[in-house]
A and B are shown apart, each in its own frame.
Chain A
Amino acid sequence: MSVIFLKGLAVLGFIAVSAMFSIWLERKISAWIQNRMGPMMTGFHGTLQPVADTIKLLLKEDIVPKGVDFLSWWLAPFFVTVPVVMAFLVIPFSSKWIALDLNVGVLYVCSVTSICVLGIFMAGWGSNNKYSLLGGMRSAAQIISYEVPLLLSVLLVVMQSGTMSMQGIVAAQEHGWFILKPHLTLAFLIYFISATAEVNRVPFDIPEAESELVAGYHTEYSGMKFAMFFVAEYTNMFIISAIATTLFLGGWQGPFLPGLVWFLLKSYGLVAFLMWMRWTLPRVRMDQMMSFAWKVLTPMALLNLLISGWFMVK
């Protein structure tokens, strides 16, 4: 019991540090892309900037707008943050470093991360703000649609490795990463695009679409509640990258360096790519995004599943 408690604490600590690092990385990458310098004043090249931001957010007044649906408004940040923490349970950082190697790990992580949509919708509904409501509605439609191609592409990995345990999948990639197999390359692309949509990143950031909905579902949040949304967003980004690493990029396996380093390198590489994408692409429109999910990604994932499944059985 105490061991799992310690592991939980370690996960929380990791989330805090990882979110702060991601925020710093995001700001730096955006600055480099835009020929700026980014944060420079606090710490070496602004490394302590996220700490300063956190302190600021902690000290800020928690504003409760008039006429909010208090319960859903108050609970929403937790519904967004808690699943993210829960998902960390089954992420294999190295051969030993995994909180809980469930034998349904993939299923668990996929189901847990989809709870987020509930929190986002609660935030949108509870805020008593039209922009928030629109953002929440958009988010619900978006996340549910993109769940389908995401799961279909993950299913292919499960079929390939024959196990749902995260460590088992990593072990199955001992002789070559899954991404190197052509049908799984396609699955990776589908997974990555859908996962980007899952975590509301550009070009699929329509729930918070700054230029249309001000800030979408978290328009009315301030202080620590806003910080929780923020942490959830960045941790979510790390989680989808970590899952992609585990499922397609061979997890913690790699030569010379220890497993943990390889895992973090790969994951943060993907996180950095997500950020690069954010600062490059424009946003797609709601209906375009939905038709992309249902008319392109889902048929493609299904076809991929059918064809490669046929080959596997044969």
Chain B
Amino acid sequence: MGELLTVNMGPQHPSTHGVLYLELKMDGEIVVDCKPHLGYLHRSIEKIAENRTYTQFIPFTDRLDYLASMNNNLGYCLAVEKLLNIAVPDRAQYLRVIIAELNRAVSHLVAIGTFAQDLGAYATPLFYAFRDREKIVDLFDSICGGRLTYNYMRIGGVSADIPARTEQIIKDFIAYERKQLIEYNELLTYNVIFLARSKNIGILSKEVARSYSVTGPMLRASGIKWDIRKEEPYSMYDKFDFDVPVGANGDSWDRFKVRLDEISQSLRIVEQAIGGIPEGNPVSKVNRVFRGTGEAYVRTENPRGELGFYLVAEGGFNPTRCKIRSPSFSNLGALSELVKGLNISDAVCVLGSMDIVMGEIDR
């Protein structure tokens, strides 16, 4: 082994998904050591939470995992509702599930697109993914008025009822997306180059995954059938029938495939939920005032893993502490172990298959 080459990959690099900075020690093209440096997107959201009322913090949760704002909203609202014992109308629960699952689907679409981009499939899969995502973003736009930071859920409900034609749009989208998934399979999943690039790359074993507290599609790709929606159903998830896709050996391709399968499962949930939305008023007004004491930890299944909110309240209008346990943070911890001994191209592939969002890692 000769002299090691130190390559500073990031914070400005096309494939570090934002502002991740990896300090790579390389022997030629082989990565010998990888040291992630975080904090380039640190906005001290946990400190902000301590100085905001419970309602005021909702817009900030949008900015954690900005690809899955709805799921973050849901997690936070559930945590506050558990902390303060607030009842939620059934209709709001259903709407939350539908919206969260749609957001999961489109978030996975982005993950798939960016992963393909990292493997060098120039922009095309990414554009297809964004084209499909756009339909849902348009729908969310008509529901809540935002295109990225939705800020839709409220403590004890949602901000507004869905507009009249929403159900039809969702049904159309489900039919459309199922056709598109076949196309993704043809374009990417079973493409020989794609397989050669991602199969058996970055294998994450069950034990290592558990030890690093890896969650979400990454954990399931390693062969552990674990989904909070199944194990500890929150909101209305126990009413719906869906499978938990599991990977065979935990390599990059499995992580990709699990995400692809999860899209169709999400569509299944939405399809079941859309038929049975109960009547009622789901709206919770923004001028409600909350206060209470206690501690609550709620974890929800985000597209990237288990998002947890640990809320501590001491009676004021705002929480004393709001710890956000972000899935990408824990998932990224396993990176340096996975990329050791791999080619730099494979390191990019592993990082892409993790599907991290820096917004929730740095918080």
Contact = CB atoms under 8 A, between A and B. Distances in A.
B200 interface: no
Contact of B344 (A134, A203, A278): A134
B93 interface: no
B9 to A, nearest CB: 9
B193 A130 contact: no
Contacts of B5: 130
A202 B120 contact: yes
Contacts of B119: 211, 282-283
Contact of B196 (A33, A205, A284): A284
Given A211-B117, A286-B345, A279 B196 contact: no
Contact of B29 (A33, A134, A284): A134
Interface in B161-215: 187-188, 191, 193-194, 196-197
Interface stretch (B66-74, B123-131, B234-242, B271-279): B123-131
A88 B323 CA distance: 66
A203 B193 CA distance: 8
B50 interface: no
A282 B14 contact: no
B121 interface: yes
Given A36-B127, A285-B346, A286-B343, A278 B122 contact: yes
A287 B191 CA distance: 18
Interface residues of A, number: 29
Contacts of A2: none
Contacts of A283: 119-121, 193, 197, 345
B7 interface: yes
Interface of B: 5, 7, 13-15, 29, 116-124, 127-128, 131, 187-188, 191, 193-194, 196-197, 343-346, 348, 352
Contact of B128 (A34, A209, A213, A214): A34
B191 A34 contact: no
Given A214-B14, A280-B187, A286-B345, A209 B196 contact: no
B123 A211 contact: no
A33 B13 CA distance: 26
Interface string A116-137: 0000000000000011001000
Given A130-B7, A212-B344, A281 B121 contact: yes
A214 B7 CA distance: 12
Contact of A210 (B120, B124, B197, B352): B120
A285 B345 contact: yes
Contacts of A202: 120, 122
Contacts of B15: 211-212
A212 B191 contact: no
B143 to A, nearest CB: 25
A30 interface: yes
B262 to A, nearest CB: 22
Nearest to B121: A282
A5 B49 CA distance: 74
A34 B127 contact: yes
B7 A284 contact: no
